[in-house]
Amino acid sequence: MRVDTSLQREVDRPLTLKEISPKWFERLYGKRERLPFPLTPVWFKWYFELDSPAKCVIGEAHGYSSSYEQTCKECDRLGWSFGKSFFLRSHARLENDVNQFVLHWNTKHSK
Ligand SMILES: [Zn+2]
């Protein structure tokens, strides 16, 4: 077991979605209390962005790049899962995607 100083603990603190993908965090957890209604302009905008590897939640985290499709299977899988959860308007699924992604990001992609 390793002994952390409080300074190290601060450095090692896991990132939250707010820090990983701030734009999508604001969309999903900001002022809006529910997901956009299907087939409204906002719904289409989010839907197309979630369907676009560089613009979706995962893409934002990777600096609006889709390169993770080739380099990280888990990010690629989660990207599709987010799109499906949004399409199904499932808050429970989205919450699950967010938790899995944040955990994955902190394990694999944050320094
Ligand atoms: Zn990944």
pLDDT confidence tier of residue 76, bands split at 50, 70 and 90: very high
Average pLDDT over the chain, rounded to whole? 91
As a whole number of angstroms, the distance between CA 83 and CA 47 comes to: 7
Integer-rounded Cα Rg, in Å, for the chain is 15
What are the pLDDT digits (tens) for 86-109? 999 999 999 999 999 999 999 999
Containing H/E element for 97? Answer: helix 91-104
> How remote is the CA of residue 106 from the centroid of ligand 1, in Å?
9
Percent of the chain with pLDDT over 90: 82
> Which pLDDT score is estimated for 22?
97
> How remote is the CA of residue 2 from the centroid of ligand 1, in Å?
26
* Whole-prediction pTM: 0.87
Q: H-type helices in 2-90, by residue range?
A: 6-12, 17-20, 22-29, 41-51, 57-61, 68-71, 73-87
Nearest to 28 by CA among 20, 37, 36: 36
> How remote is the CA of residue 39 from the centroid of ligand 1, in Å?
30
